[in-house]
Amino acid sequence: MSNELSNRIKSLPVSQTLAMAAKARELKNAGKDIISLSLGEPDFNTPDFIKNAAIEAINQDYNSYTPVDGYAELKDAICAKFKRDNNLEYTPSQIVVSTGAKQSIANIAQVLLNPGDEVILPAPYWVSYSAIATLCEAKFVEIPSSIDNDFKITPEQLEAAITPKTKMIFFNSPNNPSGSIYSEEEYRALAAVLEKHPQIYILSDEIYEHINYGSKLFSFAAIESMFDRTITVNGLAKAFAMTGWRIGYIGAPEWIAKACTKMQGQITSGTNCIAQRAAITAVSADPSEIKYMVEEFKNRRDLVLQLLGEIEGFKLNVPEGAFYVFPDISAFFGKTLKGKEIKNANDFSMFLLEEANVATVTGDAFGAPDCIRMSYAASELQLREAIKRIKEVCKLTSELV
């Protein structure tokens, strides 16, 4: 019997973040002393007040199917959060709760993109954006940026990337993997370009909004002319250390929210009942409740920048948010280690894994082939040890002769 897979799955790349995390886990289980800086996952525990809300929900017998778009109380709490943090006025009919922000993004792509549509991705971008666009048979159009302009794109670049086929732009600030945050002025300059092209929708992924080291938060949808064509994506994973709970949500024009609900109704139905009950507590919590995590991430960022800055060949920017550094390591291209040439970021990342036992993710996966991503959502001890090992192996590289 033939077991030929569909072209769809055959053309889908594996998620490099998840693949590297799985590889690190596998090596660890095999007894190797691996330090994994690959996955973007807070190393804190979910705060007790959220855990208690989940326990209470279990004891109150929340066990039935949930409304496909989320519990009414959760949608009300999300509307209040959007008002409180983002100055956005959504009504509950504009909210859809999903099984992680990743599902929210996949829903949006599925309901808006037709084959042949173009999706603009300011690079570097999170690995799954391009894969999700590809699944919809859309074409993704990268706008490159570089560490020299803090990995941000300009309005001129945006204008040049737009064609009559452009349907969407996937925008992400604070950015995974660069940690860059666009200012209100920068948002408005990009919006001025988009105003001239009313056929373009904006997916604004704000999942890292609370992991922010002092920049003023701003949302794309807060620009009046953008509100009716922006889908604001957020979730609980990063801010509340709830990656495994899988709660994401959107605020969107009602017709898009309805379409996402229809899509989700055929694919997964409503999100897990216990996680949703806990989410009501999390979303309603004052952001100061998680300040201790943000402060710790900032300390680690400063430490990592200082230690990596001592390694020749690592070019760094200062991330303003999220929990990644994204060094340009192209200075190592063309060098050799143990007779093996480092040709690209993938080789370099594999070299760190094999020689330093440190897992990172290649920048190719993020549309930035000169860089690697390192997550500093790890303990200070692990970060110090990882960078010490990296420094030692980098010293062993030599020029190609």
Query: For the chain, what is the radius of gyration of the CA atoms?
Result: 21
Q: Residue 36 Cβ, how far from ligand GLU at the closest point, in Å?
A: 11
Give how far Cα 334 sits from Cα of 132, 341, 353, 391, Å. 33, 6, 18, 18
**Going by DSSP bridges, is the β-strand pair 398-399/335-337 parallel, antiparallel, or unpaired?**
antiparallel
Nearer to ligand GLU, 20 or 191 (CB): 20
Q: Residue 40 Cβ, how far from ligand GLU at the closest point, in Å?
A: 3
**Going by DSSP bridges, is the β-strand pair 166-172/118-122 parallel, antiparallel, or unpaired?**
parallel
Q: Residue 395 Cβ, how far from ligand GLU at the closest point, in Å?
A: 29
Is 192 within 8 Å of 155 (Cβ atoms)? Answer: yes
| Amino acid identity at 124 | P
3-state SS class at 7: helix
Task: Number of helices (H) and strands (E) in the chain: give both, helices first.
Answer: 13, 15
Residue of this chain nearest to ligand GLU (CB atom): 40
Which range, of 13-21, 113-121, 163-171, 376-384, touches ligand GLU by CB under 6 A?
A: 13-21
9-21 burial, b at 16+ Cβ within 10 Å, e below that, comes to eeeeeebbbeebb
Is 254 within 8 Å of 224 (Cβ atoms)? Answer: no
Nearer to ligand GLU, 66 or 175 (CB): 175
Query: Rule CB under 6 A: which of 327-386 touch ligand GLU?
Result: none
Q: Residue 323 Cβ, how far from ligand GLU at the closest point, in Å?
A: 10
- Which of 68, 112, 121, 127 is close enough to bind ligand GLU by CB under 6 A? 127
Establish if 37 lies at the interface with ligand GLU (CB under 6 A).
Answer: no
Establish if 203 lies at the interface with ligand GLU (CB under 6 A).
Answer: no
Nearer to ligand GLU, 15 or 284 (CB): 15
Query: Rule CB under 6 A: which of 265-324 touch ligand GLU?
Result: none
Alpha helices (H) along 150-195: 155-161, 184-195
Q: Residue 42 Cβ, how far from ligand GLU at the closest point, in Å?
A: 10
Which range, of 11-19, 148-156, 197-205, 390-398, touches ligand GLU by CB under 6 A?
A: 11-19
- Which of 34, 35, 40, 359 is close enough to bind ligand GLU by CB under 6 A? 40
Backbone angles phi, psi at 373, to 5 degrees: -105, 135
Strand segments, DSSP code E, in 206-287 are: 230-235, 248-251
Q: Residue 334 Cβ, how far from ligand GLU at the closest point, in Å?
A: 29
Establish if 176 lies at the interface with ligand GLU (CB under 6 A).
Answer: yes
Establish if 39 lies at the interface with ligand GLU (CB under 6 A).
Answer: yes
User: What residues line the site for ligand GLU (CB under 6 A)?
Assistant: 15, 17-18, 39-40, 102, 126-128, 176
